Structure 1
C-alpha cells in the first residue's frame, strides 16, 4: 500500500490501474463487459455478483478436475482430466503444478526429477535442480553453479539464481526491477524492466513502447502486485495517459483491467473496486487475455501460487 501511494505521488496525473482489482459488478452496464469479468454474470438485464463454483463428489482428488462451462445445462461442471490427454507442451504447461512435459515429449503427472531433461526440468514447480545438464532431486545453492549457462533455477522459495556482473551465480529475491541491478539480465520472469544509462535496472515506462499496438499499458513491477500505467499513442509516440478519453466501448474495460467502465459514451473510473479473487471464491483461476480458464484448486494449492499473470492488451 505504501508503494502504491508513493507511485501516485510520483506520477502526478498519470492513470494507474490495478490488475488485482476490478469494478463492482453492479456498476457494469454492458453485457459484453460483465461476462468477461471474473465473479460477474449478466442476469435479468443486469450485471450481478456470481460465484464460479464446481462441486466434486466424494473424496476425489480435486487437483485432477477442471471447471468447465456446460452450455447445455447453462452451468459450470467439474470435469476430470488426465495429464496424458494434453498432447502439446503449451496445453500441458497450463496445468502446472499438476502436469509436466517430460523427456519422452509426453504430458504426465510428476514422477521424479530424473524423468525430465535439462530443458523441461521443473525447477520452479518441484524441488528439482540441474547439475551437469541433468535434472536431479533437491535444490542447489546458487554458488554451486560456476558458469552463466548453468546459473538458473531457485535455491529457496524466494531466491532465484542469477548471474551477476562480477561473474558469479548468486541467489536474489525479485522484489522489483531494482532487485536486478548488478546482474547481467534485467527481464526475468516476464517482468518489464530495462537497464538505464547507468546500467541500473528499472521499470519500463510508456515511452519505451515503440509500436502503437504495444502502447496500451506499462507494468509497474512489484512482487505480488500487478499495477500498470495506462498508455496512449499520440503523434507517433507512446505517453502516459492522463485520462481515458482515447478508449472506446470495446477497449475501455479491457485495457484498464476492468478498473474503468463504459457509461454514457465515455470511459469512466469505477466508483468501487473489488479484489478479483473474493474471500468466498472457491475456485482458483488463470486468465489469458479475454478468455478465462477456471481451474478447481484447493486452498493449499492457491496459497502456494506466487503470481497471477494477467495479460492485458
Structure 2
C-alpha cells in the first residue's frame, strides 16, 4: 500500500473533532478559569464571564484590558464588533480597538474610519481576471491572496490547457487548489496528488507538538495523542491531565477535578476571543 494512502486511511479513522471552545461558565477549576483571566473571573465556587459593559464610565484602557472589549463610537465599553464600526480622531487609536485594525483613508465628521489591516477594501470578481499574477496575488504587494466580496479567494487553474481564474471558499482545506493557499490556511499539501487536505496527527514527530491540528473546515480542530512513540488521532480526552486538558484541546475541554471533559456547545464562547488572539500571535 502506498504510504501516503496508508496515512490518509489512519488519519480519517476515529478522529476526535471539536468545533467550539469552552465558555467561562464551563471552566470547572480555578486554574482553568485563570487562563482566561482577561475574560473570566473566579468567584467563590465558579468561573464567571466578565461583561464589557461593566466598564462603562471607566477609562478606555480599563475597557480594552479585557480581551474582546472596545470603546464604541458613543463611548461605551462593548464587545468588539468590526474594524469599520469604529471612528477615531487619532489614526493610531484604531489599533487600540483591535490589533488588526488600522486607520483608513475615509474620514467621516473629522474622524478616521478604521479598517482591517491589509484590507484596502478592494474586491474582485475572480472569473473576470485574466492575469495569473493578479489572480494568485503573486504580483500584488504585501498580499497573500485576493478575494471577492463574498469572502471567496481567487486562484488559478489549468483546464484543457487553458488557464483561468476561479473562486472558492478557502475555509475548507479540500476546496483549495494550490500549495501557496494550502500553506496559507495551515492545511496539508500532497505534492504527489497535488491536493490540499487537513493535516494529519500521525505526521507530527515532535511529542511536544502532538496536541491538536485544524480540521478540514476552519473552526474545527482534531485532537492528537502521543502513544506508542508516535502521534495519533485521539479517540477521547481521557488521557489528558489537569495541567494540559484545556490547552491541548484548543480550549474545548475543561478539568472537572477527576477527568478532562469536552465542553458542550452553548452557542457562544467568551474564550473565543482569546483563541483568536492566540492565532494572531502565532
Task: Give the TM-score, by structure 2 length.
Answer: 0.63
2:29 alignment partner in structure 1? 30
2:241 alignment partner in structure 1? 248
Q: 1:235 aligns with which of 228, 243, 248?
A: 228
Within 5 Å, which residues of 2 pair with 1:1-313?
A: 13-18=14-19, 20-22=20-22, 25=25, 27-37=26-36, 40-53=40-53, 67-69=64-66, 78=77, 82-84=90-92, 95-96=99-100, 98-99=101-102, 109-111=103-105, 125-128=119-122, 139-142=123-126, 143-147=129-133, 149-150=138-139, 152-165=145-158, 167-181=163-177, 183-187=178-182, 189-195=184-190, 197-222=192-217, 225-270=218-263, 272-277=264-269, 287-289=276-278, 309=279
The answer to whether the 8 A contact 2:224-2:233 is kept is yes
Give the gaps of 5 or more residues in structure 2: 1-10, 67-75, 79-87, 107-115
Q: Which whole-Å deviations, capped at 9, do the CAs of 1:225-273 have from their partners, x for residues lacking one?
A: 5111110122332100123243221210122233322234432334x43
**Whole-angstrom distance in 1 between the partners of 2:258 and 2:89:** 44
Q: Which has the higher helix share?
A: 2
SS at match of 1:187: helix
Q: Which whole-Å deviations, capped at 9, do the CAs of 1:158-185 have from their partners, x for residues lacking one?
A: 221223356544333324122113x353
Q: Which has the higher strand share?
A: 1
RMSD of aligned residue pairs (Cα, Å): 4.2
**Whole-angstrom distance in 2 between the partners of 1:52 and 1:17:** 27
Give the gaps of 5 or more residues in structure 1: 1-9, 70-76, 100-108, 113-121, 129-138, 290-308
Q: In the comparison of the two structures, how many residue pairs are matched?
A: 231
Task: Give the TM-score, by structure 1 length.
Answer: 0.58
Query: CA shift at 1:288, angstroms?
Result: 2.6
SS at match of 2:224: strand
The answer to whether the 8 A contact 1:177-1:203 is kept is yes
Inter-CA distance 65–202: structure 2 relative to 1 (3 Å threshold) = same
**Whole-angstrom distance in 2 between the partners of 1:188 and 1:13:** 25
**Whole-angstrom distance in 2 between the partners of 1:123 and 1:67:** 19
